[in-house]
Structure 1
Amino acid sequence: MPIGTINEAGVEGKTVLLRLDLNSPIDPTSSTILDDKRFREHVPTVQALAQSRVVILTHQSRPGKKDFTTLEAHAEKLAQLISRPVKYVDDIFGQCARESVRALKPGEVLMLENIRFNAEENLTLKPEEAAKTHLVKKISAMGDIFVNDAFGTAHRSQPTMVGLPMVMRSVAGLLMEKEVFTLSRVLQAAPRPVTFVLGGTKVDDSIEVAKHVLNDGIADRVIAIGVVANVFLLAMGYDIGKPSTQLISQLKYEPEVVKARELLKMFEDRILVPDWVAVREEGKRVEYPVSAIPGEMPVLDVGMDSIAAFSAELKNSGTVVFNGPAGVFEEKDFATGTYELLKSASRVEFSVVGGGHTAVVIEKMGIEKDFTHISTGGGACIEFLTGKKLPAVEALERSREIFG
């Protein structure tokens, strides 16, 4: 069952409860928002509801974190981006919130207080249980329709994400729709050959993705870079040096080495790992074959020969899914692998980036427009690519069955 969309929901003149993910880097001392990327991604959905009374439900961080704060600055930032006032109330479903919602006219936007200030929103619940929470009962009574645009939180089974669709007509916002459509295309109808580039430090997620896309014939090739590559090299019996081996131990990734070994047995010809790597030697970038990595030096990037080989592989691909950097991209000497491979990935017919650090690098390089899609949800994107149903997406599908 597909998810419903704004276009088919008839939202004009209605009071729309709009769930966004505006969780952003913040300066805890001044509450200044340091990066408004997530705000910008949601603007088209807010603009599409210009004839509705819009009530925004969103969150910032979570209890116990330094940046867990009120949303006054978020309302101001969104108002700047949509060129319309965004009212803010420091209430979630109390009398102040209810009266403010009732007073809304079509075209007006109201942002309620940080939804995670309510303890129930921090629980992980099944949709049926979430529907019974005070939070869902009280909030659903304030609106006519629920629009979920918070793809970055779609892997969380929290009351607003999975409970509201059980009690009221619910559809996807434009961002949620775009994410689900594009990532579904990766899994079902991507131009071939399909190459997944998996890097960074989240090795357990990357191994899960590799296993799913190779087992199900979704990917023709998987290229391992970053710490993911080091885990595969260990699984192949290479000595990757003391610092890199210790890092894998610190991250508790020894079980992933075993999983990598099993994947190599089944798909050795379809998993590509670097033949050359770069280390820091006397303050400079020096390259070694993987069979001769110095014992006391950490692996910090892919070597130039392997960058060239991987770039050629990407050039011949119809689809590239890129998640995670190739090395310590923050240092100029060790950013080469990440930058060059991203340039190659940006030139293919269908290119998808899994958000997170990779999206930051792309923005820095100024090549965002060269990619087909850059996901706004790192964790949600990865979970989607492992073949798991995201709780919020499943809830929207069920809502369509219940309410049409």
Structure 2
Amino acid sequence: MAWKTLDDMDLAGKRVLTRVDINVPVDKGRVTDATRITRILPTVTDILDKGGTPILLAHFGRPKGKPDPEMSLKLVLPALQEALGRDVTFMERPSRDAIDALPTNAVVLVENTRFSPMEEANDPKMAQFLASLGDVYCNDAFSAAHRAHASTEGVAHLMPSCAGRSMEAELRALEKALGDPVRPVVAVVGGAKVSTKLDLLSNLVEKVDMLIIGGGMANTFLAAQGIDVGKSLCEHDLADTAREIADKAVATGCELLLPRDVVVAREFKEGAESETVKTEDCPADAMILDAGPDSVAHICQAFDRARTLIWNGPLGAFEIAPFDAATNAAAAYAAGLSSSGKLVSVAGGGDTVAALNKADASESFTYISTAGGAFLEWMEGKTLPGVAALG
């Protein structure tokens, strides 16, 4: 779809309403991880360089439509000023007059948009109020793009709108991965439950050439084939659904890869005694907690054949050794192919980022999305209101 970027906008002398994601972790009044703040710097700097005044709109926590001092963006202000290397004007009750009274090169941070119930209701009155504060709207918060809120969707229809640098990078990476990818495309989908990723699997079997299923999800697919998975995490009630997805894969020509061997243990704890067995030989009193080395070799062969990789979810219980081995090995292999330019690799989702960081593979992937829900909904083929509104 066509959406404008900051390059398409004349920002000289303009007030630029800029929706950002600075929903950062705070402990005892201090920001403990400023990654999300760092990600907005290119957009804020670009607006200032083009002669515009960035007016930052953001949510923080879940205040449920009421002011809550523990969720005030005042807590984020010091870390934001430090990252920008300049003062930022905080406005609890913004007005156009107050904004116009500031010098052109000022940066404004507006109080938590979710302090008003009108934000999540996407109330037209709030959208109109926000639009009155600026001349141009810039959305740089892909992570909130799956929400149709006043500050993410409503206001975009009321003024010239564009994507910020972080949003632009995310959309270009996603377009490369699923919109118009270089084929063959392989997807890794892992995690605990099939039930949380039904839409995702149904969409991917129509879009990708190879689909690797790992984690607890794989157990449900194995059980659906009549394989005894012992005491493993498994959604037996979704056996029919798993078979439908497998049948759809056959119909669309998507190769489905399930574990060939598995790592099993009688207890789930650090350093638990474990053994590797063929998938069909899982002992009745054991749990499948990771994919085995033969499965990893099979996965790496799929990566060798692919030109594009999309990754969401770990291949095993990666939080605890030795059940992180398959995720670590496959991630390291994908990272090597990405570094040498043989693979475009895009990954996202909370556990995925943590797993790839643990495997020291993140920096070599082509793009890592930290957007969580928005990344998943995009992978599911859903329209994201915050992106659609920029078109």
TM-score under structure 1 length normalisation: 0.86
CA contact (8 A) 1:5 1:173 kept: yes
Q: 1:204 and 1:100, CA in 2 relative to 1: closer, same or farther beyond 3 A?
A: farther
Query: For 2:228 and 2:104, how far apart are their aligned partners in 1?
Result: 65
Trace 1:311-350 onto structure 2 (pairs within 5 A): 311-346=300-335, 347-348=337-338, 349-350=343-344
Give, in whole Å, the separation in 1 of the partners of 2:246 and 2:69.
42
Change (3 A) 1:266 1:53: closer
The residue type paired with residue 229 of structure 2 is I
Task: Tell me the residue number matched to 1:270.
Answer: 255
Shift of 1:365: 4.0
Deviation at 1:267, TM superposition (A): 2.1
Deviation at residue 68 of structure 1 after TM alignment: 6.2
Which residue does the alignment assign to 2:275? 286
Q: CA deviation at 1:10?
A: 0.9
Q: Which residue of 2 aligns with 1:57?
A: 57
Structure 1, 159-168 or 262-271: larger mean CA deviation: 262-271
1:182-331 → structure 2 map (5 Å cutoff): 182-201=173-192, 203-215=194-206, 218-245=207-234, 248=235, 254-255=237-238, 257-268=239-250, 270-281=255-266, 283-331=272-320
In the alignment, which residue of structure 2 is the partner of 1:144? 135
Find out whether 1:87 has 2:95 as its counterpart. Answer: no
Moved more, 296-305 or 386-395: 296-305
Cα displacement (A) at 1:146: 0.8
Deviates further, 15-24 or 294-303: 294-303
> How far apart are residue 25 of structure 1 and its match?
2.6
Match of 2:145 in 1: 154
Match for 1:78: what amino acid? Answer: L
Quick one: distance in 1 between partners of 2:383 and 2:224? 30
Residue of structure 2 in register with 1:72 after alignment: 74
Deviations 1:136-194 (A, max 9, x none): 12221111111001100111111111110111111111111111122122223222211
Alpha-carbon distance in 2 for matches of 1:229, 1:190: 26
Q: 1:313 to 1:41 in 2, by over 3 A?
A: same
| Distance in structure 2 (CA, Å) of the matches to 1:20 and 1:360 | 22
Q: Shift of the alpha carbon at 1:386? A: 1.8
Q: 2:69, 2:326 → 1: CA distance?
A: 33
Deviation at 1:205, TM superposition (A): 4.9
| Structure 1 residue 7 corresponds to structure 2 residue 11 | no
Name the TM-score, length of structure 2 as normaliser. 0.89
RMSD: 2.2
- Say if 1:392 and 1:35 are closer, same or farther in 2 by CA, change over 3 A: same
Contact 1:285–1:334 (CA under 8 A) maintained in structure 2: no
Instruction: Provide, for residues 353-375 of structure 1, a one-character-per-residue CA deviation record: whole Å limited to 9, x for no partner.
Output: 02322112333444333111111
Is the contact made by 2:64 and 2:115 (CA closer than 8 Å) also made in structure 1? Answer: no
Number of equivalences = 375
- Distance (whole Å) between structure 2 residues aligned to residue 303 and residue 32 of structure 1: 42
Quote how far apart the aligned CAs of 1:110 are.
1.2
The whole-number CA distance in structure 2 between the counterparts of 1:120 and 1:114 is 12
Say whether the 8 Å CA contact 1:32–1:73 is kept in structure 2.
yes
Amino acid at match of 2:86: R
> 2-side partners of 1:285 and 1:32: how far apart?
41
1:34 match: 32
Output the amino acid matched with 1:179. Answer: E
Which residue does 2:384 correspond to in 1? 390
CA distance in 2 between partners of 1:272 and 1:18 (Å): 43
Relative to structure 1, the CA distance from residue 295 to residue 88 in structure 2 (aligned partners, 3 Å threshold; closer, same or farther) is farther
Contact 1:193/1:318 (<8 A) preserved: yes
1:175 aligns with 2:177: no
Structure-2 change in CA distance of 1:68 and 1:304 (3 Å)? farther
CA distance, structure 2, for counterparts of residue 92 and residue 225 of structure 1: 49
Partner Cα distance (1:174, 1:234) in 2: 45
- Give the match's secondary structure for 1:333: coil
- What is the one-letter code of the residue matched to 2:347? V
From the superposition, tell whether residues 288 and 185 of structure 1 become closer, same or farther in structure 2 (CA, over 3 Å).
same
**Which letter does structure 1 place at the counterpart of 2:83?**
L
